[in-house]
């Protein structure tokens, strides 16, 4: 009986009784389990701890205020706290779930939208800063029920797998094509004193470098953008490009 109890409850003691000169699989497993328990302990404690109430007089609440956003040609009258990001305003308040949240810290481009013709990471900017601007999300790229040439090219070239990054890729590429048409240079443009004339694959890759695709559909994304560019006649008119904007992304 005592032996049974030892097996159930005193694994560490049993391990200690084993000669150090004879490392065993059992000792190794016990050590690993102990390390995992120690590593998990703070997390478990954090989960069960009651939230700490703010000290009297230090609670800071900022009341929501009216914010009107113009998105895809429609006006959205929202009540937002000043700290709400444009991404959260679009998804959680305006109900436009097409724009995706990936990293929420400006690193993946999943949240890319077009604001006054400039592509921006909507997770890095506050909604209140965009009142009065013309905002285009993926839901606004089609017009009258017809996909834009770029959207069609994405389908024809199989430029997505899971599709999570695709809204951001489409908004980014839509603005990219406008930027190129308006003569914006990139860091791979050979001579930035001259208007770039050829949207090479290198140009596309560089200009799309802010948009990550975890599925690795890059080759097809580049092919789709190239095809949309060569096909010309894009109706990607959502982008009213800021001519001074030469970067591939504005992280304002
Ligand atoms: S969610 Fe990743 S850049 Fe905004
Ligand atoms: S298609 Fe899956 S992340 Fe790009």
Instruction: Assign residue 131 the CATH number of its domain.
Output: 1.10.150.120
Query: How many domains does the chain divide into?
Result: 1
Do the domain assignments include residue 5? no
217 ligand 2 Cβ < 6 A? yes
Ligand closest to CA 104: 1
Report the range of poorest mean pLDDT among 36-45, 137-146, 180-189, 223-232.
Answer: 36-45
Residue ranges lining ligand 1, Cβ < 6 Å: 101-104, 106-111, 121, 123
Confidence class for position 183, pLDDT limits 50, 70, 90: very high
Asked if residue 171 belongs to a domain, the reply is: yes
Ligand 1 mean position to 99 CA, how many Å? 10
Q: Distance between CA 191 and CA 23 in Å, rounded? A: 66
CA of 224 to the centre of ligand 2 (A): 14
Closest to 120 (Cα-Cα) out of 136, 140, 131, 97: 136
Q: What is the mean pLDDT of residues 134-149?
A: 97
Q: What is the mean pLDDT of residues 124-134?
A: 98
Is 182 within the bounds of a domain? yes
Q: Determine if ligand 2 sits within 6 Å of the CB of residue 158.
A: no
Q: Of 166, 178, 179, 158, which is closest to residue 224 (Cα–Cα)?
A: 158
Among 100, 168, 249, which residue has the most ligand 1 atoms within 8 Å of its CB, making it the best to mutate?
A: 168
Residue 251 counted as domain residue: no
- Strand ranges across the sheet with 112-115: 74-80, 65-71, 134-136, 112-115, 118-121
Angle, CA of 202, 228 and 73, to the nearest 5° = 115
Q: Bridge-partner residues for 78, per DSSP?
A: 67
204 lines ligand 2 (CB under 6 A): no
The answer to whether residue 10 is domain-embedded is: no
Q: Token pair for residue 50?
A: 């009651």
Ligand 1 centroid from CA 213, angstroms: 12
CA of 213, nearest ligand number: 2
pLDDT tens per residue, range 74-113: 999 999 999 999 999 999 999 999 999 999 999 999 999 9
CB atoms within 10 A of CB 116: 17
**Domain containing 157: what range?**
65-231
pLDDT value at 28 more than 60: no
**Residue at 32 is within a domain:** no
């Amino acid at each position: 009986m005592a032996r049974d109890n030892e097996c159930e409850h005193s694994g560490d003691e049993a391990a200690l009784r084993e000669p150090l000169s004879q490392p065993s699989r059992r000792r190794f497993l016990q050590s690993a389990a102990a390390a995992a328990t120690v590593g998990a302990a703070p997390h478990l404690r954090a989960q069960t701890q009651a939230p700490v109430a703010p000290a009297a007089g230090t609670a800071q609440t900022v009341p929501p205020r009216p914010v009107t956003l113009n998105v895809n040609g429609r006006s959205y009258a929202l009540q937002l706290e000043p700290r709400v990001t444009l991404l959260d305003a679009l998804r959680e308040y305006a109900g436009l779930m097409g724009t995706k949240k990936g990293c929420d810290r400006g690193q993946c481009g999943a949240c890319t939208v077009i604001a006054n013709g400039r592509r921006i990471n909507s997770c890095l900017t506050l909604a209140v800063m965009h009142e009065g601007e013309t905002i285009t999300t993926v839901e606004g790229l089609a017009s009258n029920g017809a996909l834009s040439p770029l959207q069609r090219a994405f389908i024809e070239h199989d430029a997505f797998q899971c599709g999570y990054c695709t809204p951001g890729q489409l908004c980014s590429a839509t603005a990219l094509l406008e930027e190129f048409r308006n003569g914006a240079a990139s860091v791979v443009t050979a001579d930035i004193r001259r208007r770039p004339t050829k949207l090479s694959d290198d140009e596309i890759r560089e200009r799309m470098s802010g948009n990550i695709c975890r599925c690795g559909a890059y080759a097809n994304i580049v092919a789709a953008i190239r095809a949309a560019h060569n096909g010309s006649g894009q109706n990607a008119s959502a982008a009213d490009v800021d001519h001074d904007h030469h970067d591939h992304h504005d992280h304002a």
